[in-house]
Amino acid sequence: MCGFLGYIGPENIDETAFRETLQLSRHRGPDSCGVHRRDTHLFGFNRLSIQDLSETGNQPMVSRDGQQVLLFNGEVYNHSRLRQKFAVSHCKGHGDTETLFHLFHQQDFTSIIPELDGMFAICWVDYSRGQAWLARDMAGIKPLYYHPGRPLVFGSQLNQLLHLPAGVNRGLSPRNITDYLALGYMLAPDTIFEGIRQVMPGEMVCLDIATGLVIQQKRYYIYQRDAGAGPDCEHALLKAHINASIIDQLVADVPVAAFMSGGVDSPVINAFAKHHKPDLRGYTFRNRYDVSLDESSVANALSRIIQLDYLNIDYTESDIRQAVDDHFRYMSEPCGDFSTIPTFFICRAARQGATVMLSGDGGDELFFGYNRHLAFFRDGWMFHAPRVLRKGFSAARKALGGPRASNTILYLSNPAEAYRETQMSIHPAALDRLLGRHDFSAACNEVFGIGNTSGDENLSSIVTRADYYGYLQMVLRKVDMMSMASSVEVRVPYLSRDIIDLSKTYLPTIQKETDLKRPLKQIFRSCYPGGESFRRKIGFTLPMRHLLRGLLKEDVVTTTCQMPFFGATFIDAQEVTAFVKGYFSHQHHSHQAVWHLYAWQKCALANQWVS
């Protein structure tokens, strides 16, 4: 896991300024730093050494004649098998960077990228062809940003592109601001800045070196449920894929640890990993503020069943106060997920004994594990009925002791809009007050299936696409930024190629809570006999309401109401003040939306986007 930066422009920029900008990602790769210059072009790399700790893995990796340059962030787990498949024989070490370098030399870049199983962001510059290729892994685990044109700039962090003394378009995008304020994240291929793009998950982008313009964009992987998907998931095959993925992802020349929650996903990962790595340690977050949000006792009990060494991460009020400011310094783009703080705590503690951690992320998105899935699939048939009938049925069911249908299903006629609203942290009317009017980006509408269908798209397609290309991307960015803050590489076994492909064949009937994530729950029961009786999924979190209205209140008010507000050209600063103060006077309880505004402003201040 590393960080890189590239500048391909017609004008010389000062190498000292370039190196200073590269330092913004030094925490991503503290073990070595390299810079390569060719005429007016500069390439920089910060390395976190994971495999082959020798200098043979250092980057930028440049061909002998200087015609090719490789920048690669991430891990390719099947690189040894690819060495054999393509008869790569010129490597001096055993790392994946060398493997990729020789593969791209021997084969066509576009034919190799789909062969890779891993998490990666790659830049391959080929001067002999006048092309620069960018590529990102199929799940979007590793970030990759670029500014096309003159200059062409690309890198691992959004803030680096803005920091370079070059002609990067820094204008804000009002529609992407809407996405962030409502959902808490930016959807690829957009960012909040008009001139900066994200490479999509599973995409390759070819740019012309002379002009910096995009020549070709190719989606080599698109995630969607198979036409013949059904409620049965091959249990033995899923277990075999999980086991194989973990074997691959335990390979490292540095210590490996793991997250350990009280749910299903990470305990399953750790049960398999413990079998192959007996000295594995699991890290759990203990919630001292609110016992109802603390799953450490459950995680500890599960750890004892598989004899997993575990450590609970504790904190004090002063720890939180300090961590809030500290973790925003590593937030290279706005992220509205409040669990950034527990993730930051865990990775910082784990770094004392490990450089790599295994995560359980991805299980909920691939195998339908969220409570919103239950509500949406159980009551989705109501979209075909008039609103008056929906409300009548829901009221009757509630009178009989059943659940009431959500307002999004009762009042919205479009299932795509309804599913987006289940993830919105703010009421549309409040969003209109903040922005004058709100329009979501084209990328957001496409991900949720709004405006690009006839309205009869099936519910599973909406959910599958929105979770994979929407919510999952926020989770992965959160983990990437907060783990890299402590120079920790987080690997995601559920997002291996084989498991992702297998999940595409799975489409359950969801009518009750036990239907959620059924394949993983079955594996959980085989790994933890009796564990189901005390399992309680909460996740690593903090009591947001308590902290916002207590410990953080003064800073929230000062930051959002008493300083120049970032993006005030599009966001009404007076309405921000009214919204925040309305929260503290209990006029509304949109705590998540207040956090989005606070995180937006704190991130802007940390990156000096606003004074």
pLDDT digits (tens, 9 = 90+) for 96-130: 999 999 999 999 999 999 999 999 999 999 999 99
Model confidence, pTM: 0.95
Paired with 219 in beta bridges are 203
pLDDT band at 487 (very low <50, low <70, confident <90, very high): very high
pLDDT band at 400 (very low <50, low <70, confident <90, very high): confident
- Helix, strand, coil abundance in the chain, percent, nearest 5: 45, 15, 40
- Residue 141 to residue 496: CA distance in whole angstroms: 11
User: Can you give the length of the chain in residues?
Assistant: 611
pLDDT value of residue 167? 79
Sign of the torsion formed by the C-alpha atoms of 403, 406, 411 and 417: negative
In the chain, the percentage of residues whose pLDDT exceeds 90 is 77
pLDDT value of residue 534? 54
pLDDT greater at residue 385 or residue 343: 343
Sign of the torsion formed by the C-alpha atoms of 80, 82, 87 and 92: negative
pLDDT greater at residue 568 or residue 451: 568
Helices 573-584 and 553-561, axial angle in degrees (round to 10): 160
Beta strands 32-38 and 41-47 are antiparallel
Domains (range + CATH), the chain: 2-219 (3.60.20.10), 235-367+469-537 (3.40.50.620), 543-611 (no CATH)
- Across 343-368, average pLDDT: 97
Report the mean per-residue pLDDT for the chain: 93
User: Model confidence over 127-140: pLDDT tens digits?
Assistant: 999 999 999 999 99
8 Å CB contact between 47 and 36: no
- Residue 423 to residue 534: CA distance in whole angstroms: 28
Look-up of token digits 């979209």: 383
pLDDT band at 288 (very low <50, low <70, confident <90, very high): confident
- Residue 581 to residue 587: CA distance in whole angstroms: 9
- Residue 292 to residue 516: CA distance in whole angstroms: 22
User: Model confidence over 415-456: pLDDT tens digits?
Assistant: 888 899 999 999 999 999 999 988 999 999 999 998 755 445
Q: Is the pLDDT of residue 74 over 90?
A: yes
pLDDT value of residue 537? 64
User: Model confidence over 162-175: pLDDT tens digits?
Assistant: 998 777 888 999 99
In the chain, the percentage of residues whose pLDDT exceeds 70 is 98
pLDDT band at 411 (very low <50, low <70, confident <90, very high): confident
pLDDT band at 1 (very low <50, low <70, confident <90, very high): low
User: Model confidence over 453-479: pLDDT tens digits?
Assistant: 544 578 899 999 999 999 999 999 999
From the number of C-beta atoms within 10 Å of its C-beta (0-12, 13-18, 19+), residue 213 rates as: exposed
8 Å CB contact between 184 and 200: no
Dihedrals φ, ψ of 220, to 5°?
Answer: -85, -10
DSSP letter at 502? H
pLDDT value of residue 413? 74
A 10 A CB-CB count for 79 gives 25
Whether omega for the bond prior to residue 60 falls within 30 degrees of 0, making it cis, is yes
Contacts of 554 (CB under 8 A, 6+ apart): none
User: Model confidence over 521-562: pLDDT tens digits?
Assistant: 999 999 998 776 555 567 777 888 889 999 999 999 999 999
Query: Which residue in 329, 395, 454 sits closest to 25, CA to CA?
Result: 329
Helix (H) or strand (E) holding 197: strand 197-198
pLDDT value of residue 269? 98
pLDDT value of residue 44? 98
Poorest-pLDDT segment among 11-15, 347-351, 386-390: 386-390
pLDDT value of residue 386? 82
